[in-house]
Amino acid sequence: MPRTADHELRRAQMAEAVHRLIAHDGLDAATMAAVAREAGFSVGLVQHYFKSKDELLLFAYQRITASLLERVATITARGEAAGQPIRDILLTGLKELLPLDAARRGEHRVSRAFQARAMDVPAAAAVAEATAAMITGKIAQGVENGKECGEVEPGTDAALGAVELTALTDGLADRLYREPDRSVAGRSGAEAAEAILADRLAALFPGECRHYA
């Protein structure tokens, strides 16, 4: 059927309903009937736009990952325009992956639910792998750019550094989600997570950018 603006709007509304249901009650809550109720549509209309629950869930997952990548791209562009050091841009971008507020807590739960589903559903696995590769690739490019501008030591392995940063961020995100109110060494969980990321970035990007000198 033609992809009109109305068509895309309804699909987006259904995907947002999936997001809300999973964020609140988990993946099993996102049945076709529940999505229809949450979005304010009939079950028949949802089935008209999506042939199966799997197709609907995959579309919702793609929208969530696309939104995250778009936010990170915006942060990067703004940081570059403002002349910020690469390590500062990366810190701000990585914080988008942490459940630091209600919206990102919901996003984290939804993302983890889909990542678990990706173990059994190849199409979901493809989205998860592409998203992870995109994030890791952007970080690795940041490290390579840091070598050129003087923030990063020439012998630094960019791919290894990117994997380390993403793994660290993932671990911090899971901890913050499980224990959002737990303090660490007199700091809130969020403050501690940011400090840990900032310290690791400072070690990976110890120099000053020559471009802004």
pLDDT for residue 191? 95
Q: What is the mean pLDDT of the chain?
A: 93
Break the chain into its structural domains and give their ranges. Answer: 1-51, 53-212
Q: What is the pLDDT of residue 171?
A: 97
**Do 114 and 57 form a contact (C-beta atoms < 8 A)?**
yes
Q: Is 60 exposed, middle or buried (0-12, 13-18, 19+ CB in 10 A)?
A: buried
Q: How far apart are CA 113 and CA 44, in angstroms?
A: 26
Are the beta carbons of 143 and 156 closer than 8 angstroms?
Answer: yes
Query: What was the pLDDT predicted at 210?
Result: 85
Which architecture characterizes domain 53-212 according to CATH? Orthogonal Bundle (1.10)
Which structure tokens are listed for 168?
């660290």
Tokens representing residue 2 in the block: 């033609």
CA 74 to mean position of chain CA atoms: 13
State yes or no: pLDDT of 1 exceeds 50: no
Under a CB-based contact definition with an 8 Å cutoff, are residues 139 and 166 in contact? Answer: yes
For 187, list phi and psi in degrees, rounded to 5. Answer: -115, 155
**Does residue 3 sit in helix, strand or coil?**
coil
CATH: 3.30.300, 2.40.160, 1.10.287, 1.10.10. Which one for 1-51? 1.10.10
Give the SS3 label for residue 59.
Answer: helix
Global pTM?
A: 0.89
Burial of 142 (0-12, 13-18, 19+ CB in 10 A): buried
**pLDDT, mean of residues 20-37:** 94
pLDDT of amino acid 213: 57
Q: Render pLDDT for 143-189 as a digit per residue (tens, 0 to 9).
A: 999 999 999 999 999 999 999 999 999 999 999 999 999 998 899 99
Q: What is the pLDDT at residue 4?
A: 83
pLDDT at 52 over 70: yes
Which of the pair, 206 or 2, is modelled with greater confidence?
206
Nearest residue to 138 via CA among 150, 149, 146, 126:
146
CA neighbor of 107 nearest in space, from 127, 115, 136: 115
Q: How much is the pLDDT for 155?
A: 96
d(CA 146, CA 47): 49
Assess whether pLDDT exceeds 80 at residue 2: no
Q: Please say whether the beta carbons of 212 and 83 come within 8 A.
A: yes
Model confidence over 68-107: pLDDT tens digits?
Answer: 999 999 999 999 999 999 999 999 999 999 999 999 999 9
Q: What span, in angstroms and rounded, lies between the C-alpha atoms of 113 and 20?
A: 13
121: DSSP letter? -
